[in-house]
A and B are shown apart, each in its own frame.
Chain A
Amino acid sequence: AQKITQTQPGMFVQEKEAVTLDCTYDTSDPSYGLFWYKQPSSGEMIFLIYQGSYDQQNATEGRYSLNFQKARKSANLVISASQLGDSAMYFCAMRERRNAGNMLTFGGGTRLMVKP
């Protein structure tokens, strides 16, 4: 079974509008972390935001916020006031505590295209 599912292969958003990128996950580990990365066409993965499974509040980082719904196992990324530079691939990833150390499991990604 897929551990991380991103159901939107591609999305368009108008510049200056907000957009939500979906991510659902599957784990039986009570301790885990969820990450969102942005990958421009250059290839480098840029860290955006992190949410821990025990965090009570949704994470926010500037224009990025994470809508964490633990019971539904979803961790959607919200980008407010989209900019042309936000056009990129976006990946949701999970690290489970039972996997000692660093092992991220990634979703298939969502390609976001911002229209002027």
Chain B
Amino acid sequence: KAGVTQTPRYLIKTRGQQVTLSCSPISGHRSVSWYQQTPGQGLQFLFEYFSETQRNKGNFPGRFSGRQFSNSRSEMNVSTLELGDSALYLCASSRSGTGTDTQYFGPGTRLTVL
């Protein structure tokens, strides 16, 4: 069974640009969550999508947005990039996101903002 895949794996952008990251969950998983990992702030929850609806949102500015498609694939978008957006962005999927459901993570997209 294929794991969670994320594309691209590495990305370099400049301040002010926007970026779109993609995540394909494990087959059969309907919940997709996004996390940002930085050396200073650690791992922080961005948002979660379930059945194409945002179910939960972390404390991030509106520049960070996402969506989920009918096949459960998800994208996150960051507009007007800032230097502080440089981070490893991790996507995780699970069946339903409730009870004992476990999230499985992808390899991440490492974003560098210059």
B90 CB-CB contact with A under 8 Å: yes
A50 CB-CB contact with B under 8 Å: yes
In the bound assembly, the distance between CA atoms of A91 and B58 in angstroms comes to 19
A28 CB-CB contact with B under 8 Å: no
In the bound assembly, the distance between CA atoms of A115 and B62 in angstroms comes to 45
| CB <8 Å contact, A103 and B33 | yes
Chain A residues, CB < 8 A from B106: 44
Q: Tell me which of A37, A50, A104 contacts B100 (CB under 8 A).
A: A50
| CB <8 Å contact, A104 and B45 | yes
Interface residues of chain B: helix, strand, loop or mixed (majority)? strand
In the bound assembly, the distance between CA atoms of A50 and B104 in angstroms comes to 12
Q: Tell me which of A35, A106, A109 contacts B102 (CB under 8 A).
A: A35
A-B contact count (CB 8 A): 68
| CB <8 Å contact, A103 and B102 | no
Size category of the B interface is: 20 to 34
| CB <8 Å contact, B33 and A102 | yes
A56 CB-CB contact with B under 8 Å: no
Q: How far is the CB of B96 from chain A (nearest CB, A)?
A: 8
- Given A42-B107, A43-B88, A43-B108, answer yes or no on A106-B48 (Cβ-Cβ < 8 Å): no
In the bound assembly, the distance between CA atoms of A26 and B44 in angstroms comes to 17
